[in-house]
Structure 1
């Protein structure tokens, strides 16, 4: 009987070892297959696009090295590469499961461009942009309006407790620099763009704003004046 039990235990140990080894090998194989980001290829795709695949040059809208001069297009220079890659994935979502859409629920103009990108393209672009400097940060548009500045500062620093709106600074940092891989930088972003995104979260046509769509819930508790004030304040904070 002892010999039988011993044989069973030995066999079990061997099987466990094999399973562990297989799992480790699988993880190593997956890592080996994962594309290694290439910032130079990202730079080429950003500045020239790839018309053979219908990918327009990003620079046409987002400016040189991710410094956008047009308020409706966000500054991308220096953004965390994880955040940029995630947003590209969101734009690539199928038409029946739109994550980032227009007010009428349709895919944005980014969708057909990103649809032609591979995972490698998106990683290359995101790493390239994360290495760039924001040389043309946007400024607050209503910095002379004391009431707007005061309201924006209040929401940024302390939130709106009576409506369960947390302080923006708790996630995006005291100076709006964000937290790499978790929360994007808002400082220097176009206030018009920030305002539009908050409305998108509030109205539901921009989804997946963090864990459990946190941003959707927060934005939905703010009124139009709150959104305008905090977007303007965030853009100008340094």
Structure 2
């Protein structure tokens, strides 16, 4: 009798153990480790033009590396980013930057351009020629002829949601903490633009189709290199 009870108990224990879910093994890869990043910044299934957070896939690695360091070190502030990056080494941030730079997620369709012909002309003049009288360089002089950025440190202006572009211009013009404690060349330039020009830029840029990849390293003018040295610096960056 005792033997039968023992067998029944053993069978019962086996059934209980068999019903316990087995946790799948999660591979220790960089793709898995950066999952918290894609919660906000999206992935292939979530990329859309209505999101607030910017696209980071495909951006130049040097630019991503600089921004990660700026968030970690408090030069640019956003609490969620500060918490995620706290205590991470430069080497690890560089690895993350190269990972996202290599991704080729599809871009969202261009938004509708609701600007008048006159507003469009004003924006396109700023984009391609700037305004020398106000010491405003052409956007394409830094961000490339296709506005898709220049490797390794200059980001694209296209493929970004309207809300994000508007928020960044607001930060540059008004000294918002997210845009950084140290003024950069975009802060200087944005403050020289009128509010009407800023409004038009935030509509025109998301309305442009994506036709190219970030340009390979181009030689900027000496003036622009000196003017934007905080943006172009990449101590510790290697390709």
- State the TM bucket, normalised to the shorter chain: 0.5 to 0.7
Q: CA deviation at 1:202?
A: 1.8
- Find the partner of 2:151 among 171, 177, 180: 180
Q: CA deviation at 1:189?
A: 1.6
Separation in 2, partners of 1:108, 1:157: 36
Instruction: Say whether residues 1:231 and 2:206 are aligned partners.
Output: no
Separation in 1, partners of 2:204, 2:181: 24
- Find the partner of 2:180 among 207, 210, 217: 207
Separation in 1, partners of 2:40, 2:58: 17
Separation in 2, partners of 1:112, 1:44: 18
Instruction: Say whether residues 1:133 and 2:104 are aligned partners.
Output: yes
Separation in 1, partners of 2:100, 2:189: 28
Distance 1:44 1:93, change over 3 A: same
Q: CA deviation at 1:58?
A: 1.0
Q: CA deviation at 1:45?
A: 1.6
How many aligned positions are there? 179
Q: Which segments of 5 or more consecutive residues in structure 2 lack a partner in the other structure?
A: 1-27, 211-239
- Contact 1:202/1:219 (8 A) holds in 2: yes
Separation in 1, partners of 2:164, 2:121: 21
Instruction: Say whether residues 1:118 and 2:89 are aligned partners.
Output: yes
Deviations 1:79-123 (A, max 9, x none): 0111111101111124xxxx223xxxxx44311111143333312
- Contact 2:115/2:200 (8 A) holds in 1: no
Q: Which segments of 5 or more consecutive residues in structure 1 lack a partner in the other structure?
A: 1-39, 48-56, 102-106
Separation in 1, partners of 2:184, 2:45: 27
Q: CA deviation at 1:62?
A: 0.8
Separation in 2, partners of 1:155, 1:227: 11
Structure with max Cα Rg? 2
What is the TM-score with the length of structure 1 in the denominator? 0.66
How large is the RMSD of aligned CA atoms in angstroms? 2.5
Instruction: Say whether residues 1:100 and 2:73 are aligned partners.
Output: no
Separation in 2, partners of 1:82, 1:66: 26
Matches within 5 A, 1:140-179: 140-143=111-114, 145-179=116-150
Q: CA deviation at 1:192?
A: 2.1
Q: State the SS of the aligned residue for 2:73.
A: coil
Q: State the SS of the aligned residue for 2:34.
A: helix
Distance 1:222 1:144, change over 3 A: closer
- Contact 2:115/2:204 (8 A) holds in 1: no
Instruction: Say whether residues 1:44 and 2:32 are aligned partners.
Output: yes
What is the TM-score with the length of structure 2 in the denominator? 0.66
**63-72 vs 118-127, which deviates more?**
63-72
Q: Which has the higher helix share?
A: 1
Distance 1:141 1:118, change over 3 A: farther
Query: What residue is the counterpart of 2:223 in the other structure?
Result: none
Structure 1 moving runs of 4+ over 6 Å:
none
- Contact 2:44/2:106 (8 A) holds in 1: no
Q: CA deviation at 1:143?
A: 4.3
Query: What residue is the counterpart of 1:77 in the other structure?
Result: 57
